[in-house]
C-alpha cells in the first residue's frame, strides 16, 4: 500500500522513508502531487497533523500521514510548542528560531524540554483516522553542538546523554527520536489493519 507523507520538509521525509523502509508500505512524497503548502490552522498537534493528512489525501487520492511536531520548554509554558517552526516569525528559519530560543532560555536555571511528535493517518477510502504519539526528553543548552539533523536539534541535549540530537548518528536518531517513537506506534496500528 502507498502512503503519502504530508510534508515538504526534506529532513522529516528522509526520516519517514527510513522508519518505514522495512514495512510493507511504500512511502511517497507530497511533492509528487503538489507544491501547494498546507496551512496549519489547528489548535493542537492532533488537529494540525490530521489537517495535513486529509489535505494530502485529497490532493493525491492515497492514504496519507501527517506529522505535527514541536519543542516544548517547560519553564516557557511549553513554548515554542505548536509554533515551533514559526517561533521567530512568519519567515522563520532554523537559525532565527534557535537564536530566539537561546535568548528566551538564557536566564533560566532549568531548561528541561521535550520534543513531541503527533502522527495522524487518514485513509479516504475507509474514512479511517488514526493517531500516534512520541516524545524525547532533554534540555536546551547554551550554544549549538553538532551538525546533523535540523531544526532545534543542535541545542537539544538528550536526557541521560552528553550529546545533542544534532550529534547522534542518523541510525541512532531513528531509534530514539520522538518521530521514531510515534512512527513505530503508527506502524503497529497499520500492520494490524492492513495485512
Which CA distances in Å does 137 have to 34, 134, 175? 35, 10, 14
Task: Please tell me whether 150 is known to bind a ligand.
Answer: yes
Establish whether 9 is an annotated binding residue: yes
Q: Is 68 annotated as a binding residue?
A: yes
Residue 173 labeled ligand binder: no
Antiparallel, parallel or unpaired: β 2-5 and 64-73: parallel
The rounded distance, in Å, linking the Cα atoms of 18 and 36 is 24
Check whether 179 is labelled as a binding-site residue: yes
**Residue 151 is labelled as binding a ligand:** yes
Tell whether 178 is in a known binding site.
yes
Any catalytic annotation for residue 68?
yes
CA angle 168, 170, 171 (to 5 degrees): 100
Contact 187, 23 (CB under 8 A): yes
Grid cell digits, residue 40: 496549519
Q: Could you please report the per-residue DSSP string of 99-118?
A: HHHHHHHTT-S--EEEEEEE
- Joined together, the cell numbers standing for residue 86 give 514559526
8 belongs to an annotated ligand binding site: yes
Determine if residue 153 is labeled as part of a ligand binding site: yes
Residue 39 in 3-state DSSP?
coil
Q: Which of 67, 68, 79, 123 is catalytic?
A: 68
Find out whether 127 is annotated in a ligand binding site: no
15, 179 contact by CB (below 8 A): yes
29's enclosing H/E stretch is strand 26-29
Tell whether residue 69 is among the known ligand binding residues: yes
Q: Which residues are catalytic?
A: 68
- For the annotated binding site, the residues are 7-12, 39, 68-69, 150-153, 178-179
- For the annotated binding site for substrate, the residues are 7-12, 69, 150-153, 178-179
- For the annotated binding site for Mg(2+), the residues are 39, 68
Amino acid at each position: 500500500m502507498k502512503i503519502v507523507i504530508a510534508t515538504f520538509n526534506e529532513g522529516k521525509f528522509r526520516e519517514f522513508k527510513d522508519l518505514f523502509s522495512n514495512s510493507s508500505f511504500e512511502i511517497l512524497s507530497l511533492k509528487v502531487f503538489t507544491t501547494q503548502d498546507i496551512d496549519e490552522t489547528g489548535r493542537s498537534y492532533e488537529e494540525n497533523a490530521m489537517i495535513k493528512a486529509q489535505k494530502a489525501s485529497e490532493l493525491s487520492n492515497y492514504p496519507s500521514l501527517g506529522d505535527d511536531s514541536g519543542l516544548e520548554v517547560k519553564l516557557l509554558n511549553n513554548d515554542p510548542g505548536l509554533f515551533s517552526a514559526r517561533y521567530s516569525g512568519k519567515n522563520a528559519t532554523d537559525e532565527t528560531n534557535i537564536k530566539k530560543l537561546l535568548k528566551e532560555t538564557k536566564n533560566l536555571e532549568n531548561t528541561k524540554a521535550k520534543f513531541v511528535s503527533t502522527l495522524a493517518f487518514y485513509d479516504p477510502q475507509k474514512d479511517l483516522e488514526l493517531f500516534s504519539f512520541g516524545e524525547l526528553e532533554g534540555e536546551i543548552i547554551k550554544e549549538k553542538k553538532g551538525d546533523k539533523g535540523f531544526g532545534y536539534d543542535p541545542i537539544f541535549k538528550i536526557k541521560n546523554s552528553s550529546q545533542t540530537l544534532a550529534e547522534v548518528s542518523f541510525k541512532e536518531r531513528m531509534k530514539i527520536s520522538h518521530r521514531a517513537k510515534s512512527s513505530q506506534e503508527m506502524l503497529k496500528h497499520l500492520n494490524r489493519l492492513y495485512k
